């Protein structure tokens, strides 16, 4: 890669050059981090040995604390090493859909959209809102975002599934406890190296007016585009751009990504790995529960990982859940048996 980067003809193709430079930088960072861990490990071991020889407990304690911090960093790097799937390094689309329950589930869908946006921002990923359908009173019926960043799909791919919320409803005048469901669907952006052939005669293309906030042109013309792929039943839609032409192009990109993700799922199922699949947005299909009342607990129903700080989780602190889900997926272990449904 260094040799290629020095080629004076490289920048004749700016897109390919940028891709090469990003990949080289990523590899350089990865190699440097492993070397740094190795160096810090040896240095702190030597400090402990020196402190014990000289009877300096302060040095020993300081080095031991440094090793604890180093262990956390090594574990994080180990999880990143799991992100070696065919599309793990790609950008990704994230769809949010509210389940049955009207305003309650639509508000919950909006909370999930914010949660994943905050998680991406914490990682300095770029987030683009491609389409959103607002709820009648509050929240959203559905939304799609594009998350851009290295390994975006690899990190988010285990988040597909149904998410359940239990709380005292702010929309219930009797202050009763409500259970709401919303689903997340994650699929990777496909680049030029992946050829996805689509027969346009298999697709139905609809145009409609964009919803939500926007300029005069956005909300008064049929600029939004919806494409339905008849053989698979996959539906994608985009209303981000003012131009119907641009929205149509993005919708085709999203459809290619969805079809590619469907093919990845088939391969994974054929290899006897855990196959993620769309399911009813309701009881029995959830992957994670978020309980705000009568107690506070977020629990992943596949790995058993828990957090008693749901506010932090809903503000984007998801790494612990993602890391455990990735390790669980790689190991092929059966899902944790969950007996408490509250």
Domain residue spans in the chain? 2-81, 87-342
Q: How many CB atoms lie within 10 A of CB 123?
A: 14
What is the pLDDT, as a whole number, of residue 211? 66
Distance of CA 76 to the CA centre of its chain: 17
* Residue 268 pLDDT class (50, 70, 90 cuts): low
Q: Sign (positive/negative) of CA torsion 21, 24, 30, 31? A: negative
The C-alpha atoms of residue 188 and residue 149 are separated, in whole angstroms, by 11
- Per residue in 269-321, pLDDT tens? 654 443 344 445 555 568 999 999 889 999 999 999 999 999 999 999 999 99
Q: According to the model, what pLDDT value does residue 341 have?
A: 35
- How far is it between the farthest Cα atoms of the chain? 80
Query: Angle CA(331)–CA(336)–CA(341) in degrees, nearest 5?
Result: 150
Separation CA 141–CA 105 (nearest Å): 8
CB-based contact 96:182 (threshold 8 Å): yes
Question: Is 292 in contact with 98 (CB distance < 8 Å)?
Answer: no
The CATH class that applies to domain 87-342 reads alpha beta
How does the average pLDDT of the chain come out, rounded?
84
Residue at token pair 């009877």: 55
| DSSP-H helix ranges across 224-294 | 244-270
Express each pLDDT in 39-86 by its tens digit. Answer: 999 999 999 999 999 999 999 999 999 999 999 888 878 877 778 777
Name residue, tokens 């999203």: 254
**Poorest-confidence range of 15-24, 135-144, 314-323?**
15-24
* Alpha carbon of residue 295 to chain centroid: 27
Asked whether the predicted pLDDT for residue 149 surpasses 50, the reply is yes
């Amino acid at each position: 890669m260094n040799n290629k980067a020095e080629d004076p003809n490289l920048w004749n193709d700016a897109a390919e050059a940028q891709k090469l430079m990003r990949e080289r930088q990523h590899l350089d960072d990865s190699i440097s981090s492993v070397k740094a861990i190795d160096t810090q490990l040896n240095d702190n071991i030597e400090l402990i040995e020196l402190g014990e020889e000289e009877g300096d407990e302060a040095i020993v304690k300081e080095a031991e604390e440094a090793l604890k911090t180093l262990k956390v960093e090594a574990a994080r790097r180990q999880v990143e090493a799991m992100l070696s799937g065919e599309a793990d390094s790609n950008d990704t689309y994230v769809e949010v859909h509210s389940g049955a329950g009207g305003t309650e589930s639509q508000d919950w869908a909006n909370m999930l959209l914010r949660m994943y946006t905050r998680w991406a921002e914490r990682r300095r990923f770029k987030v683009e809102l491609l389409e959103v359908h607002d709820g009648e009173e509050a929240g959203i019926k559905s939304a799609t975002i594009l998350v851009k960043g290295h390994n975006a799909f690899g990190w988010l791919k285990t988040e597909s599934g149904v998410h359940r919320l239990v709380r005292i409803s702010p929309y219930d005048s009797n202050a009763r406890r409500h259970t709401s469901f919303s689903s997340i669907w994650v699929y990777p952006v496909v680049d030029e190296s992946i050829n996805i052939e689509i027969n346009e005669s298999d697709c139905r293309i609809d145009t409609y007016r964009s919803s939500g906030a926007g300029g005069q042109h956005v909300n008064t013309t049929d600029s939004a585009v919806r494409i339905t792929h008849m053989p698979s039943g996959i539906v994608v839609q985009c209303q981000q751009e003012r131009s119907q032409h641009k929205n149509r192009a993005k919708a085709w990109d999203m459809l290619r990504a969805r079809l590619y993700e469907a093919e990845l799922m088939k391969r994974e199922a054929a290899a006897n790995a855990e196959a993620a699949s769309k399911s009813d947005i309701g009881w029995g299909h959830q992957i994670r529960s978020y309980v705000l009342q009568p107690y506070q607990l977020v629990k992943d129903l596949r790995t058993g990982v828990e957090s008693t700080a749901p506010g932090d989780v809903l503000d984007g602190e998801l790494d612990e859940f993602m890391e455990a889900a990735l390790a669980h997926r790689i190991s092929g272990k059966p899902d944790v048996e969950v007996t408490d449904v509250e």
